Amino acid sequence: MFLSVFDVFKIGVGPSSSHTMGPMTAANRFLDLILSDQWPRPAGAHVAALKASLHGSLAYTGIGHGTGNAVIIGLMGEAPDSIDPDRMEGIIAEVERTGRVTPPGHPSYYFQPKDDLVYDKKTPLSGHANGMRLSALDKDGRVLLTQIYYSIGGGFVVTDTELLALQKQKKQASSQKVPYPFASAKEMLAMAASSGLTIAQMKRANEEVVRSREDLDAGLDRIWDAMLSCIDRGLRQDGQLPGGLKVRRRAKSIHDKLQEEWRSNRLNPVLANDWLSVYAMAVNEENAAGGRVVTSPTNGAAGVVPATIRYYLHFHPDADQDGIRDYLLTAAAIGGIIKHNASISGAEVGCQGEVGSASAMAAAGLAAVMGGTPEQIENAAEIALEHHLGMTCDPVAGLVQVPCIERNALGAVKAVTAASLALKGDGVHFVPLDAAIETMRQTGNDMNEKYKETSLGGLAVNVVEC
């Protein structure tokens, strides 16, 4: 099993990897399909109009998560990793004004969002909770092409046929030829023991099958630069977050107080936790505002990994760029195992799959750069994940704000605690990481749908929206 570090960590925009980045990518793919010869185009037929329908969790929380806007922007040919967040409102306003989308390389297509973008809460699609259907029509309104896409978490998008193939592939040996094709934590530890390599070294060897060492390091540095920029911007911004809840940004004011304490040398027994929390909150406030973030492994959990790396740089004198690269490689190895054997999608398994996975990844990465053995690293990931099991995804008003922003802060704190506990042991522990991952999968399957990113239960119905 091989999932690249650049599949786990993807640069994009908020507020949601599954509900914003995924639908934008799906729209891009549909535009490519229209121009291709991969569908039976009737002779003389020309696409004149487009329609989109959102289903399941995309329909229930799509407005708060910006899903509809993401579809519009995607149908204009914009991609999550390159769109300027400051241009998005203008693009949407232009489409609403003209009733047309004008993607580069295409003719103008009729698309009036108020009529042609439907939030269908009554018709779930069978493949995944995050489903959407895109259609192309001729000038007389006849459907020429329809494609179903599923946004399966972390910005990953598959068609209905690709999803079936992916499910089948999980039951088979991986076809990717890499030197260390571990699909489970047990296999990862066995390969580390037989090779004498660290988890980061094995992950690096796998990555270097498809790219040079220089390209790999440059890509890892680019990921961290994007994470760091997101933290820094979040620490500078103030005011209310969009969406109507009137939630105020807090990262800047907390950061200002921490800097004052830092300069005064006053004793603060929870100082490390405070810095962790403010870094994570800065990222997720940026995400909630639709800013540039890195899936880690999702947007809703994007603050945990960057906060823990920044903590490493802040409090560990031996921290360096090579350490950051090893951290990211180790974290990606754990994230890949979780995604392969369970899910990172809140709409599929609840927030245990988002912040829980992020905390496990962060704990593993931190344990690695602090000198942990593969067994201690696996233990750190297990501790962090175990103590997120059962966590629901219940965003108030469908916005990635409450409880999501603070939840990232606590996920980072748990990650550091898990790494510390693991490093104080010898790697021998009672619950294997694979057992925790399987438990998360089972718990997600058993979890009521109203607790899986639909905003139909939990805090979403017990907190008065202001």
Q: Per-residue pLDDT tens for 213-234?
A: 999 999 999 999 999 999 999 9
* 320-334: average pLDDT: 98
Domain-located, residue 1: no
Specify the pLDDT at position 378: 98
286 and 313 inside one domain = yes
User: How far is the C-alpha of 251 from the C-alpha of 236, rounded, in Å?
Assistant: 8
Specify the pLDDT at position 465: 61
Domain-located, residue 91: yes
160 and 225 inside one domain = no
Query: Per-residue pLDDT for 253 more than 50?
Result: yes
164 and 187 inside one domain = no
Q: Give the residue carrying structure tokens 């979040």.
A: 234
Query: Per-residue pLDDT for 268 more than 80?
Result: no
154 and 207 inside one domain = no
105 and 225 inside one domain = no
Is 109:101 a contact under the CB 8 Å cutoff? yes
* Mean of the per-residue pLDDT values of the chain: 95
262 and 359 inside one domain = yes
CB proximity list for 117: less than 8 A, separation 6 or greater: 51, 52, 53, 54, 68, 71, 72, 111
Which CATH number fits the domain that encloses residue 94? 3.30.1330.90
Q: Give the residue carrying structure tokens 């209905």.
A: 160
305 and 159 inside one domain = no
Domain count, the chain: 2
Please give the share of the chain, as a percent, with pLDDT higher than 90: 92
pLDDT tens-place string over residues 132-142: 999 999 999 99
Domain-located, residue 261: yes
| Residue 1's pLDDT band (cuts 50, 70, 90) | confident
Domain-located, residue 262: yes
Please give the share of the chain, as a percent, with pLDDT higher than 70: 98
Query: Per-residue pLDDT for 205 more than 80?
Result: yes
Specify the pLDDT at position 262: 79
Query: Per-residue pLDDT for 175 more than 60?
Result: no
* 282-290: average pLDDT: 97
Domain C-terminal end among 117, 140, 168:
168
Domain-located, residue 96: yes
200 and 90 inside one domain = no
Range of the domain at 217: 176-462
280 and 247 inside one domain = yes
Query: Per-residue pLDDT for 206 more than 50?
Result: yes
Domain C-terminal end among 136, 152, 168:
168
116 and 224 inside one domain = no
Domain-located, residue 7: no
Query: Per-residue pLDDT for 79 more than 90?
Result: yes
137 and 194 inside one domain = no
Domain-located, residue 355: yes
pLDDT tens-place string over residues 369-409: 999 999 999 999 999 999 999 999 999 999 999 999 999 99
Domain-located, residue 142: yes
Domain C-terminal end among 127, 151, 168:
168
Query: Per-residue pLDDT for 173 more than 50?
Result: no
Which CATH number fits the domain that encloses residue 200? 1.10.4100
160 and 209 inside one domain = no
